[in-house]
Structure 1
Amino acid sequence: MVQTAERGPGPRSGSGVPPQPLAGAPAASPSPAAGSVPSDSAAREAAPGAPPREHRHDIDLMRLICSFSVMLGHVGGVFIAAVEREEANGPGVYWTGHVVEALNPFAVPMYFAIAGWAVLVGAPPGDSRRMWRRIVRNTVPLFVWSALYLAWGRWWGTNDGPVSRLALDAVFGSVRPAYHLWFMYAYIPLIVALAFVVLLRAGKRPWGLGAVLLVLAAAPSLMGDLERWTGWDLPRFGWGFGVYQLMYALAGAFLFALPAGALGRRRWPWAVPMALTMAGVLWYHTQVHYVIPNAHVLVAVMTGCLLAMVTRVRVPRRWRPLLSRLAGASLGAYMVHVLVISAIVEPLVSPGLSGAVAAPLYAVLLAATVAVSFGASLLWGKAGLRKYLG
């Protein structure tokens, strides 16, 4: 997630979508990116001798919902891009894309909410060393996938500049051609800041994390000054997070930590305001501006409603092994799904499709994207490549 690079909706937005960036399967309800995205191996990071942490299967479920929703929106974005955002160019394709895009704005904010819960409540780091391991697990897949998307773009003929320049830009926070990776450039600094506060409160002295935050704070102005003084064409510095991302993280830490029943015993009434916010997003996208900002009140209410419906929900025991396996693969699926979309979705969507054809085609293409993305992630997980590919 103005052309919201915030949501990371897809190529049509000019953005660069969460999770939930991260690597490793969470042993104690990690964070997303994504989405759908990051995940922290909390159990491995628990302090020696500490009691085992509760595994939050509801948060595994939430991560999967967010992963699916991100793909739902990005496939829908291809339909909107096919008609160049104009209803007159193909009403069936236009409305198919916009209807599904109105269903998923909660995904990226929810990833930040899960990140806040993981760092502040669910799996707070015991020391800087553990936090650095968490950072590396998220940063390595980010750069590996940046390189893979640059190679793919060169082979596919979709890069909008020389690979060397695009690679340099990616180091400093650009998300071309992998628009969905923008989330990682916000997620990683955010968990660094939260962990810094946690460790300070615990009486630690996280000098390294503090130095990272100082660099992130000063770099944009320093690079701007250096560009003016030297006349060099320097990359934009994109590492950092905004107030709305911090607020989603803090709200997530608070709400996910509430005991069962604190938000009401009945969950279904929350579906009513959530459905109303989805209708509001559809109106906003088609009548005001596409894409709606993550910080918009409609998105915040939608995110809160979903959280109230899913948090502390009891997952049947027989589903838990599969749920944990898929949740562990969600970051990898998030990373690869845009490549899958460019290969199998974009070539099949054209503006001339009628609504009767566009809607079923959308369902088939979404199912294929989800199956291929998660299938690929599960395969490289078995091959021991999770730390490199997410």
Structure 2
Amino acid sequence: MPRTAPPTAAPPAGQAEQGRTGRERRHDIDLLRVLCTAAVVLVHASAEFLDAGHRTTGVLGDSASRFAVPAFYAMAGWAILAGSPVRGDTQLLTRLGRILRPMAVWTALYLLWQYLFGPPLDGGAKEAVRALFGSVEAAFHLWYLYAYVPLLLLLGVAVLVLGQRATPRWSALLLGALAVAPVLSEDVRTLTGLPLPPWGWSVPLYALGYAVAGAALLAARRRGPRPLWLAGVAVAFVALAVYQFTVRLPAGYGSAAVAALTFAVLGAVAGVRVPERARAVLVRLSDASFGTYLVHLLFVMVLVRPVAERVPHGFAAPVALAVTAVAAAALSFAVSVLWGRLGMRRWLG
């Protein structure tokens, strides 16, 4: 599995609740969600080209899409702090369940795929146990959810406590359990000698920063002329590409270069008016974004990887990346929309 460019993407936290609570649907957020989901596919497609030796193509593709993970954290922050704040313990746990249920299903499906078609699993059945503690090789792109779920839990409990909406008994208990779990698992490993995997359910500080600062920017919808934000996107992209060529590849999500690109994209998209004729399609794609994130790695492995390994160096490589990434994204959105129509989104995302 490619490790050069870690994955992104995100579940639709709060998007369904907007309609239920009578809030105006933010079509600019829908647009941002679809854009970031497509960027997730480009991140992993670029990683395949990097692993195949197409360095320039891979770095440029990765730099153009590295904003997606931080932007998803920002959307999560906006949803739970401003767009659709939780009103009670049960609602918060229900939101988490809508993420954890498809996450478990797809972890099992990727483990099965690896067993049937991939190289031998490292540890065999132990991989399934490792998935309870953190992301596994077969479904490595799901690492994001091991940070995303605790982030939603932390922000949700904070909303309930500060807003005095309800007493978050069970969610606070779960948050406390996640807080002590890393040290507890190490202690159990020391006392028993059991080979417990490292604990992965944790929130990095940069994720919390993107969630809160991004929520503030998205809640404001727009600050300053949009052409300036678009110019900022172009400048930040060039800066990030130079950074990745010369300093660190892949760039950390907490790096200044990634942050600059992320907030420039957020500022450019926030407040965009989507034409009415495009809204129905956009909403359908937005609702399918979580499922697209979960399934897209299969299409990257089947479509992008063989092309990346065979395409010659030179001009053909960036063209091949663009074509295969678009194809993988289109197929991923298509199958996610399909199982949504079949009523399977509860289990498949």
TM-score range, shorter chain: over 0.9
Alignment of 1:109 with 2:75, yes or no, is no
Residue 177 (structure 1) aligns with: 138
Amino acid at match of 1:66: C
Which one of the candidate residues 163, 169, 173 is aligned to 1:211? 173
Amino acid at match of 2:236: T
Which one of the candidate residues 23, 27, 32 is aligned to 1:62? 32
Residue 86 (structure 1) aligns with: none
Residue 42 (structure 1) aligns with: 17
Alignment of 1:343 with 2:302, yes or no, is yes
Q: Is the 8 A contact 2:5 2:62 kept in 1?
A: no
> 1:273 offset after TM fit, Å?
2.5
- Superimposed CA distance per residue, residues 97-152 of structure 1 (whole angstroms, 9 cap, x where no aligned partner): 11111111110000000000000100001111111111100100111110011001
Which one of the candidate residues 324, 346, 362 is aligned to 2:321? 362
Amino acid at match of 2:44: H
Q: 1:291 to 1:226 in 2, by over 3 A?
A: same
Amino acid at match of 1:42: E
1:190-339 alignment, distance < 5 Å: 190-203=151-164, 204-258=166-220, 261=222, 263-264=223-224, 266-339=225-298
The normalised TM-score by structure 1 is: 0.86
Looking at structure 2, the residues matched to 159 and 134 of structure 1 have their Cα atoms a distance apart, in angstroms, of: 35
Alignment of 1:19 with 2:9, yes or no, is yes
Q: 1:272 to 1:199 in 2, by over 3 A?
A: same
Looking at structure 2, the residues matched to 365 and 248 of structure 1 have their Cα atoms a distance apart, in angstroms, of: 30
Amino acid at match of 2:112: A
SS at match of 2:99: helix
Q: 1:248 to 1:14 in 2, by over 3 A?
A: closer
Structure 1 residue runs without a partner (length 5+): 1-9, 23-30, 32-38, 47-51, 84-92
Looking at structure 2, the residues matched to 159 and 385 of structure 1 have their Cα atoms a distance apart, in angstroms, of: 30
SS at match of 1:124: coil
> 1:367 offset after TM fit, Å?
1.7
Residue 151 (structure 1) aligns with: 112
Q: 1:72 to 1:302 in 2, by over 3 A?
A: same
Q: Is the 8 A contact 1:45 1:125 kept in 2?
A: no
Looking at structure 2, the residues matched to 127 and 352 of structure 1 have their Cα atoms a distance apart, in angstroms, of: 53
Amino acid at match of 1:235: P
Q: Is the 8 A contact 2:5 2:250 kept in 1?
A: no
Residue 100 (structure 1) aligns with: 61
SS at match of 2:209: helix
Looking at structure 2, the residues matched to 307 and 246 of structure 1 have their Cα atoms a distance apart, in angstroms, of: 16
> 1:154 offset after TM fit, Å?
0.8
Number of matched pairs = 348
Looking at structure 2, the residues matched to 351 and 364 of structure 1 have their Cα atoms a distance apart, in angstroms, of: 14
The percent of aligned pairs where both chains have the same amino acid is: 37
Question: Could you tell which deviates more after superposition, 158-167 or 203-212?
Answer: 158-167
Residue 129 (structure 1) aligns with: 90
Looking at structure 2, the residues matched to 70 and 44 of structure 1 have their Cα atoms a distance apart, in angstroms, of: 26
> 1:45 offset after TM fit, Å?
5.5
Looking at structure 2, the residues matched to 77 and 13 of structure 1 have their Cα atoms a distance apart, in angstroms, of: 6
User: Of Structure 1 and Structure 2, which has the larger fraction of its residues in helix?
Assistant: 2
SS at match of 2:309: coil
Amino acid at match of 1:213: L
- Superimposed CA distance per residue, residues 290-329 of structure 1 (whole angstroms, 9 cap, x where no aligned partner): 1100011111111111111111111100100000000011
Q: Is the 8 A contact 1:45 1:130 kept in 2?
A: no
Amino acid at match of 2:3: R
Q: Is the 8 A contact 1:174 1:236 kept in 2?
A: no
Q: Is the 8 A contact 1:117 1:252 kept in 2?
A: yes
The normalised TM-score by structure 2 is: 0.95
Amino acid at match of 2:206: Y
* RMSD between aligned residues: 1.6
- Superimposed CA distance per residue, residues 346-379 of structure 1 (whole angstroms, 9 cap, x where no aligned partner): 1222266131221222122112101110111011
> 1:158 offset after TM fit, Å?
3.0
